[in-house]
């Protein structure tokens, strides 16, 4: 083992440590995962929520397209989705969610249809 590794060293000043950039693809996946975890949301086949991300600097604009369970209290579930997605994106990425548009594109029954 190198003796240089055993010596504690001072951290550089925060402004000199470099930068961290989190891509919009990562933000999109965090938003989709958070939305899919909210009770009352549904997966349409193998697909869960779809998200689009825009914005610049530390502000992001999100657009979600998702399905809900039928019957569902649409406003209540969408409110929960907004809260959870905003919380997760801001916590995990450090970005501020400036806008969050939610489109409910389907209402899916809990049980699959008996006749196909």
* Residue 31: CATH number of its domain: 3.30.70.1350
Asked if residue 54 belongs to a domain, the reply is yes
Phi-psi region of 56 (alpha: psi -120 to 50; beta: other; left: phi over 0): beta
Q: Which residues pair with 51 in a beta bridge?
A: 64
Do residues 53 and 28 touch, judged by C-beta distance below 8 A? Answer: yes
Q: Which residues pair with 81 in a beta bridge?
A: none
Asked if the model's pLDDT at residue 64 lies above 80, the reply is: yes
Asked if residue 3 belongs to a domain, the reply is no
Q: What is the mean pLDDT of the chain?
A: 89
More confident residue, 21 or 112: 21
Q: Which domain holds residue 97?
A: 21-107
**pLDDT digits 0-9 by tens, 67-110:** 999 998 999 999 999 999 999 999 999 999 999 999 999 999 87
Asked if the model's pLDDT at residue 2 lies above 80, the reply is: no
Asked if the model's pLDDT at residue 34 lies above 70, the reply is: yes
CA dihedral (34, 35, 41, 42) positive or negative: negative
Please compute the mean of the pLDDT values over residues 53-73 and round it to a whole number.
Answer: 94
Asked if residue 114 belongs to a domain, the reply is no
How many domains, in total, are found in the chain? 1
pLDDT tier at 15 (50, 70, 90 boundaries)? confident
Dihedral of the alpha carbons of 26, 28, 33, 37, in degrees to the nearest 10: 140
């Amino acid at each position: 083992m190198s003796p240089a590794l055993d010596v504690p060293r001072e951290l550089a000043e925060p402004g000199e440590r470099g930068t961290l950039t989190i891509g919009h693809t990562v933000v999109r996946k965090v938003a989709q995962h958070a939305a899919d975890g909210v009770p009352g949301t549904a997966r349409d086949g193998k697909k869960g929520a779809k998200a689009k991300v825009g914005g610049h600097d530390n502000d992001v604009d999100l657009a979600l397209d998702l399905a809900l369970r039928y019957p569902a209290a649409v406003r209540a579930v969408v409110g929960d989705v907004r809260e959870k997605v905003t919380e997760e994106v801001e916590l995990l990425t450090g970005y501020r969610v400036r806008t969050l548009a939610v489109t409910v594109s389907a209402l899916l029954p809990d049980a699959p249809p008996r006749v196909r």
